[in-house]
Structure 1
Amino acid sequence: MKLRTIILILLLSPFVFGFQSRNKSFFPLGIVAPIEKDSLIHAAGFKFIGESVGRMISPSLSGEQFNSNLRSIGKLRSKLYMCNVMFPGNMKIAGPDVNEPVVLSYVDSLFNRAQKAGVSRIVLGSGGARRLPDGYDVKKATGAFVSLCKKIATIAAKYKVKIALENLQTKETNFINTVKSAAEIVRSVNHPNFRLNADIFHMRREHEPPQNIIDAKDLLIHCEIAEDAERTLPGIKGDDFTPYLAALKAANYKGPIFVEAGSNYSEEQIKFCFKYLSKQIENVYNN
């Protein structure tokens, strides 16, 4: 290589690599939405899409329905990365009415289908399924739930699926309402296939500090986000997420971040959401 060429490369490299750094994707972004919106979502910039267990991989779906879903999944431009609402509301997983053999049989079938569909993450929110009767002993419920989740995690490992336990606001359930309490359960389960989802929407609803994300950094495999007042797409109301995004940065979280804010939005709103959230993330990393 000629000396003049080498000198030119050295002179230009700070600009080239600086440009790449400024435009890197710090967190891969996904969005929970019907797969019918895949083309719109991909065009907006989202790399991943999330769906519900009930629509995509539930054991209650017939073989024909599931196979039809597999064909649809194979045509997606955005990758189907996760499914949420792991349990139907009438299948209790906490409290006095848990039927453990039924639950374990269900998750075995569910994880089998998740593996076939290429779904590597399943979010365990399911507020109705884990709601406790009023006045029920929370300590007793927690011990039994941890024991059940250890068994669920063992089955998940067989199918190479990871579960992300989600904190849910008190309006949705009365059990496990913060990232801090969810992290305590994940630590007690102590299984690599049973980890933590930090849902920033629910954190803000419960006035939970960003520090709790940092404190649980070794457990975190998933993160979800939406605006506070009406659970809208980031950018609709103009919410500032930077304290929580800064906590993710401090926790060395690698992503993805999933928008979970309903699905009745226009193409323009979804595109703006991607740009709005990306800009806040960029600002956090550049400060």
Structure 2
Amino acid sequence: MVDEKTMETKDNRSGFALGVSNFSTSEPLLNAEKIVACGMDFIEPGLAKIYAMSSEDFEAAAQRIAGNKIRVQSVNWFLPPEIKVTGPDVDESKCRQFLECALSRAVKLGAKAVVFGSPGSRSLPENFSESEGRRQMVSFCRLCSDVIQEHHWPIRIAVEHVNHTETNFVNTFAQALSIVREVDRPEIGLAADLYHFAMENESMELMSEAGDLICAVQLANPNGRCFPKPGDSIPGLEEFFRRLLEIGYEGGVSVEATVGDDLESDCRLAVERLKSCLDSLA
């Protein structure tokens, strides 16, 4: 079992709760004990991977996570690429079937937010109408809201701005905010990601306007999309944290980045770098 001292939340540390997202070889569900032992507060596993697990494997993983008192603040990697939310192959019944199972598993793990990046699911086919894609995206978000409401689940979908090198649809925070406002459901919020802000060279000003719509936060050092380390120059990091503090954000901040030679070292150094930045803003 993980030592109780490693399970301190943001209330007992400087700034936000910090975690590790599923990305590259991080595998938070598999490496959960290592991640929290290195100073992180929570894990953010990939929901599409969780959905693909057998019932027996999922139950065993859920029991292990609960038994070790490991916090699952959120999940990412929402949709497998074969489930489309835009384009001619959208199947609402297939989407609903996925949501019923996947979201129930996320809730059982304790997740409060689902980061909705999923570029393979939402990218528009060539020559497909952007306005129709937007209508479909709004419709899918409302379907998510309906399923969450029907089950009274305490979870929100966090629509993510994903940069133009990964998808051709909803690349900026401004675009994501516009869609969330059109959806206009309390179950549908926003993800804010420092890496995607940097890749699109987008101002963070709208974070202040979005306020409590922001329900999940991710970051990486944009130079190589790697874990932050002491001494790294990370343009925009201080402003990013400052705007989160100004809006009273109370969720977690997860590192979604490529793992280097050693995950444990990456985690320890990232905690040191991020805490140092937060201390400077205190």
TM-score, normalisation: structure 1: 0.85
3-state DSSP of counterpart to 1:35: coil
Is the counterpart of residue 273 in structure 1 residue 262 in structure 2? no
Task: Look up the match of 2:20.
Answer: 31
User: What is the aligned-residue RMSD (CA, Å)?
Assistant: 1.8
Closer/same/farther in 2, CA of residues 46 and 175 from structure 1, 3 Å limit:
same
- Residue 151 of structure 1 deviates from its aligned partner by 1.6
| 8 Å CA contact 2:145, 2:187 repeated in 1 | yes
- Which runs of at least 4 in structure 1 moved beyond 4 Å after TM superposition? none
Q: Which whole-Å CA distance do the structure 2 matches of 1:246 and 1:106 have between them?
A: 37
Q: Is the 8 A contact 1:38 1:77 kept in 2?
A: no
Q: Deviations over 1:109-140 (max 9, x none)?
A: 21222222322221111001001012322112
Q: Tell me, which stretches of 5 or more residues in structure 1 are unaligned? A: 1-22
1:5 aligns with: none
Distance 1:124 1:266 in 2: 25
3-state SS of 2:30 partner: helix
- Report if the CA contact (8 A) 2:73-2:252 is conserved: no
Instruction: Answer whether contact 2:86 2:122 (CA < 8 A) is retained.
Output: yes
| Equivalent runs, 1:212-227 vs 2, <5 Å | 212-227=206-221
- Computing the radius of gyration over CA atoms, which structure comes out larger, 1 or 2? 1
Q: Does 1:199 align with 2:193?
A: yes
Contact 1:46 1:78 in 2 (8 A): no
Residue 105, structure 1, aligned to residue 101, structure 2: no
- Structure 2 distance, partners of 1:247, 1:52, is 27
Pairwise CA distance, 1:168: 0.4
Q: Are the counterparts in 2 of residues 180 and 216 from structure 1 also a CA contact under 8 Å?
A: no
Contact 2:180 2:190 in 1 (8 A): yes
Is 1:134 aligned to 2:134, yes or no? no
Residue 181 of structure 1 aligns with an amino acid whose one-letter code is Q
CA distance in structure 1 between the partners assigned to 2:13 and 2:110 by the alignment: 26
What are the Cα deviations for residues 147-196 of structure 1, in whole angstroms up to 9, with x where unaligned? 22112112123233211111101111111111111111111111111111
Flag structure 2 segments of 5+ consecutive residues without an equivalent: 1-11
- Given the alignment, which residue of 219, 234, 242 partners 1:239? 234
Query: Any conservation in 1 of the 2:229–2:269 contact (CA below 8 Å)?
Result: yes
How far has the Cα of 1:24 moved from its partner? 4.7
**Percent of residue pairs bearing the same amino acid type:** 28
1:42-97 C-alpha deviation (Å, 9 max, x unpaired): 233211111111333x0x32221222222222233431222111111111111222
